Chain A
Amino acid sequence: MTKALSVADKLEILADAAKYDASCASSGGERRNSRSSGGIGSSTGNGICHSYTPDGRCVSLLKILLTNACFYECAYCINRRSSNVRRARFTVREVVDLTLEFYKRNYIEGLFLSSGIIRSPDYTMEELVRVARTLRTEHAFRGYIHLKSIPEASPDLIREAGLYADRLSINIELPTEESLRRFAPEKRTATIHATMRDLSVKIAGAKTDGRGPRFSPAGQSTQLIVGADSSSDSTVLATASGLYGTYRLKRIYYSAFSPIPEASTLLPARPAPLVRENRLYQADWLMRFYGFSAAEILFGCTDGMLDPELDPKLAWALRNRDRFPVDVNAAERESLLRVPGLGVRSVDRVLSARLHCRLRLDDIRRLAGSFRRLLPFIVTADHHPARLLDRSALRSVVAPRVRQPTLFG
C-alpha cells in the first residue's frame, strides 16, 4: 500500500485527470443570489472566467474528477483501466469543502464534477449526485454545478442530478459509431444517444412547466475529440449539426486530440493541430448564429477538411463572390451576417444606425471591428469596390498571412 494522499495531492491528480474536458462554461444558468438564503453563491446567467491557464483556456469552475480509477478502457483517456497513472479518490465531503473554500475566495463560479466509472454506473452516478445534493441542501450553495451524467445510470439518479445541476453533459467523444466501438469498447453510441434524448425531453419539459421540478436549466453539452480517429471535418460537422438539431444541445466542445502520458498504441503519436479545432469552432459558430448549413461551409473543401489557412466564413465568401459586395445601406440582415468581418453585434449596430442616415465608410469604421478586411465586400454611400472582387488575387488581399493559430482568434 502506498501512503495516504493528502487532499492537496488528490486535488493535483484529479484536476490533472479532468483537464482533457474542454468545457468550463458557467453560463446559461438561472439568475439567483444568496441575499436571503443564508448560504453562499449567485449566478447572473452570464459566465465568469476567473482566470485563464497558459493555454488561454478559461478557468471558471473547479473541474475535477471524483476519482480517476475506472474500469473502462477508452483508448484516448488517461484514466482507462490499463493506464499506469497514480490513482486517487476524493470523498464527497472533500469535494464539497474544496468547492466552498474556493468559491468563498472568488476563485471559481462553481463545480464541474466528473468521474471514472467505479463498481457500477449507478454507484458512480450516486456519488456525483451526493456531492451536488450536499452542496445544494446542506450548504444552500447557489453557485454553478455542472455534472457529468453517466450514460448507463438509472433514470431516477439522472432526474435527481438534474434537480441540483445547472448543466449536465455526456461526452459523445468520437464522431462515428465505428470509432467509438474501436476506441471505447464499453461505450455504446445507442446508449449515449438515448441518454441525450432523455435529457433533452426533461430539459424541455422543465422549461415549459415552470412550476414542476427544476431540471438542468442551463441545458446539456457534449465533447467531441478530433484527430484521434480518421474522421474528416465534414463527418464531425455532420454529427454536430445532427446533435444540435435532435437534442437541442447548448454547446458542443471540440477537443483536438492531445497526447497523454501512458497513451494507447491505437492512437496517433502526434497531437492534432490546434488550428483544426479552431476552424471547427468557427464553423460551429456559423451554423448556430449566422444561418450557415454544414453543407455550405464544407462545399468545395478538399477531402472534407476545412481550409486551415482561411476562416470558414471568408472561405465561403471567396467561393461565392457573386454575392458581394453587399450594400450596408440596403441589404437584409441575413446577407450582412455573411460578410466576412461583420459579427452579429456589428450587424445589429449597422441595422440600427442606418435607420437614421446613409452609412459612409467612416461610420462603418466606428461600427465594425475588423474594418480593413471588410472593404472588398461592402458598398457604402462613398465606397463601391465592385472591381476588386474580379481580381483573382483577392485571396491574398484579404487572407491573413499564415500565423501562429490562436484558438477562437
Chain B
Amino acid sequence: MYSIIIDPPDDLGAFRSAARRLLAARIDPADVTWTDCPDAALFQDVPPDAERIAAVPRAFVELAQAVACHRDESRWALLYQLLWRLVAGERTLMDQPSDTLVHRLQRMAASVRRDRHRMTAFVRFRIVEAEDGPCSVAWYEPQHRILRRVTPFFIDRFASLRFAVLTPDLSVHWDRRAVRYAPGLSRSAAPPADDVEDWWKRYYCATFNPARANAKLLDSHMPKRFRRDLPEADSIRDLLSNAGSRTDGMIGRQPR
C-alpha cells in the first residue's frame, strides 16, 4: 500500500511526478491512496523514477489540469486510474466520453471550468487607497481551488493596476510586475464598498425592465448561492416584488 501526499492540494506537478514513479513500478491503482494532508504520511516509499513511461495524450493533460482544482477528495485516485488504463493500452479511452470513469472526470472538469468562468464574471473589486497608491481588492469564494488558474485572466485584463484577490484558500497580489501568493483570508477581510459601487447598484436597477420579470430564469443563470457577494444582488428582492405594480402602472397609464 502506498500513500501519496499532494500538497498544496491543487499541485498537478506533484501528482505527475508521483504518478510517473508509480506507473514505472507498475503499482496498481487499488494499492495507492492519495491525500492532501501532510500528517498522513504512513507509507511514503514510492519507488524511484525507474523507466520512462509512454507519453500520455494531450487530452489527458488538459483534463488533469482542470480536475486538479476540484475539491473532490477522490480526484487524484480517479486521475491515476485513468492514467493506468491509458498506459495499459486503452489508447482511445479519452475519446470515449461514454466510459464511466472518463465521464465522471469530464464532469468534474466541467464543474471546474464553470467555476473559473463564474469567477471571472463575479469577482467585484473595490478600490482601496493605500500609502503607495490605489489598489483594487476583491474577496471571493470559489467553489473549487481555482485561484492560480484564474489569475492570468486578471493580469491580462488589469496588468497596469495593482490588485489583490483574496479567497479562503489562497490570496494573490499583483504589483504591476510580479505575482505573489499568500495564505487565504476569510470574508471579514473583504474591503469596504467604495462610491462607484452605489452607481453600479443604481445602474443595475435601471437596466431592468419590470415588464419582463422572471425570477426562475434569474435563478437558473445566477443561483442564489452565487449572489452573496454581489453588491447589486441586494436589490433583487425589491425589484421583483415591485415589478408587477410598475408594469400595471405603465399599461394603465396608456391614453386610450
A binding-site residues for B, Cβ under 8 Å: 7-8, 11-13, 15-16, 18-20, 33-42, 44, 48-59, 62-63, 98, 101-102, 104-107, 256, 258-263, 265, 269-271, 274, 349, 352-353, 355-357, 359, 362-363, 366-367, 404, 406-409
Which 6 residue pairs are nearest across A and B when measured between Cβ atoms? A56-B217, A33-B156, A363-B98, A55-B212, A15-B206, A42-B157
Given contacts A259-B247, A406-B216, contact A41 B97 (CB under 8 A): no
Q: Contact: A353 with B95, CB < 8 Å?
A: yes
Least Cβ–Cβ distance between B86 and chain A, in angstroms: 14
Given contacts A19-B206, A407-B214, contact A104 B158 (CB under 8 A): yes
| CB-CB nearest in chain B for A103 | B157
Using A11-B203, A58-B221 as known contacts, list a sample of 15 further A-B pairs with CB atoms less than 8 Å apart, ordered by residue number in A.
Answer: A19-B207, A20-B209, A37-B160, A52-B222, A54-B215, A56-B220, A98-B199, A101-B196, A104-B161, A105-B126, A106-B124, A106-B138, A274-B214, A406-B220, A407-B217
B81-116 with Cβ < 8 A to chain A: 92, 95-98, 100, 103
Least Cβ–Cβ distance between A239 and chain B, in angstroms: 23
Least Cβ–Cβ distance between B247 and chain A, in angstroms: 7
Residues of the A chain whose Cβ atoms lie less than 8 Å from the Cβ of B159: 33-37, 40
Which one, B124, B126, B156, B196, contacts A42 given CB within 8 A? B156
Given contacts A40-B158, A357-B98, A367-B98, contact A106 B218 (CB under 8 A): no
Least Cβ–Cβ distance between B99 and chain A, in angstroms: 9
Q: Contact: B197 with A105, CB < 8 Å?
A: yes
B binding-site residues for A, Cβ under 8 Å: 92, 95-98, 100, 103, 117, 120-127, 136, 138, 153, 155-161, 196-200, 202-209, 211-218, 220-222, 230, 232-233, 236, 239-240, 243, 247, 249-251, 253-256
Q: In the docked arrangement, what's the CA distance between A40 and B155, Å?
A: 10
Q: In the docked arrangement, what's the CA distance between A20 and B211, Å?
A: 11
Q: List 18 A-B contacts (CB under 8 A).
A: A11-B199, A11-B206, A54-B215, A54-B236, A62-B203, A101-B199, A104-B127, A104-B161, A105-B196, A105-B197, A259-B251, A269-B251, A352-B95, A353-B95, A356-B95, A357-B96, A359-B98, A406-B217
Q: Contact: A105 with B124, CB < 8 Å?
A: yes
Which one, B124, B157, B233, B256, contacts A107 given CB within 8 A? B124
Which one, A40, A49, A53, contacts B157 given CB within 8 A? A40
Residues of the B chain whose Cβ atoms lie less than 8 Å from the Cβ of A40: 157-161
| CB-CB nearest in chain A for B221 | A52
Q: In the docked arrangement, what's the CA distance between A62 and B156, Å?
A: 20
Q: Contact: B199 with A8, CB < 8 Å?
A: yes
Given contacts A54-B240, A104-B136, A260-B250, contact A48 B117 (CB under 8 A): yes
Residues of the A chain whose Cβ atoms lie less than 8 Å from the Cβ of B232: 51
Residues of the A chain whose Cβ atoms lie less than 8 Å from the Cβ of B197: 105
Q: In the docked arrangement, what's the CA distance between A356 and B247, Å?
A: 56
Q: Contact: A105 with B136, CB < 8 Å?
A: yes
Least Cβ–Cβ distance between A149 and chain B, in angstroms: 22
Residues of the B chain whose Cβ atoms lie less than 8 Å from the Cβ of A406: 214, 216-217, 220
Residues of the A chain whose Cβ atoms lie less than 8 Å from the Cβ of B103: 366
Give the residue among A15, A16, A105, A352 with the most B Cβ atoms within 10 A. A105
Given contacts A54-B213, A269-B254, contact A34 B156 (CB under 8 A): yes
Q: In the docked arrangement, what's the CA distance between A270 and B161, Å?
A: 49
Give the residue among B98, B124, B156, B198 with the most A Cβ atoms within 10 A. B98
Interface of B: prevailing SS: helix
Q: In the docked arrangement, what's the CA distance between A40 and B222, Å?
A: 27
Q: Contact: A18 with B207, CB < 8 Å?
A: yes
Give the residue among A35, A54, A259 with the most B Cβ atoms within 10 A. A54
Residues of the B chain whose Cβ atoms lie less than 8 Å from the Cβ of A48: 117, 120-121
Q: Contact: A55 with B214, CB < 8 Å?
A: yes
Least Cβ–Cβ distance between B191 and chain A, in angstroms: 11
Given contacts A33-B159, A105-B126, contact A261 B250 (CB under 8 A): yes
| CB-CB nearest in chain A for B253 | A261
Q: Contact: A265 with B255, CB < 8 Å?
A: yes
Q: Contact: B208 with A53, CB < 8 Å?
A: yes
| CB-CB nearest in chain A for B156 | A33
Residues of the A chain whose Cβ atoms lie less than 8 Å from the Cβ of B216: 56, 404, 406
Q: In the docked arrangement, what's the CA distance between A124 and B184, Å?
A: 50
| CB-CB nearest in chain A for B240 | A54
Q: Contact: A270 with B251, CB < 8 Å?
A: yes
Q: Contact: B218 with A55, CB < 8 Å?
A: yes
Q: In the docked arrangement, what's the CA distance between A105 and B236, Å?
A: 20
Residues of the A chain whose Cβ atoms lie less than 8 Å from the Cβ of B153: 42, 44
Residues of the A chain whose Cβ atoms lie less than 8 Å from the Cβ of B209: 19-20, 53, 55, 258
Q: In the docked arrangement, what's the CA distance between A263 and B247, Å?
A: 12
Q: In the docked arrangement, what's the CA distance between A49 and B155, Å?
A: 19
Least Cβ–Cβ distance between A38 and chain B, in angstroms: 5
Q: Contact: A263 with B250, CB < 8 Å?
A: yes
Q: Contact: B157 with A59, CB < 8 Å?
A: no
Given contacts A55-B209, A263-B254, contact A366 B218 (CB under 8 A): no
Residues of the B chain whose Cβ atoms lie less than 8 Å from the Cβ of A261: 249-250, 253
Residues of the B chain whose Cβ atoms lie less than 8 Å from the Cβ of A8: 198-199, 202
Residues of the B chain whose Cβ atoms lie less than 8 Å from the Cβ of A7: 199
Which one, B125, B156, B213, B254, contacts A106 given CB within 8 A? B125
Residues of the B chain whose Cβ atoms lie less than 8 Å from the Cβ of A256: 212
Q: Contact: B204 with A409, CB < 8 Å?
A: no
Q: In the docked arrangement, what's the CA distance between A262 and B127, Å?
A: 40
Residues of the B chain whose Cβ atoms lie less than 8 Å from the Cβ of A260: 250
Q: In the docked arrangement, what's the CA distance between A156 and B251, Å?
A: 42
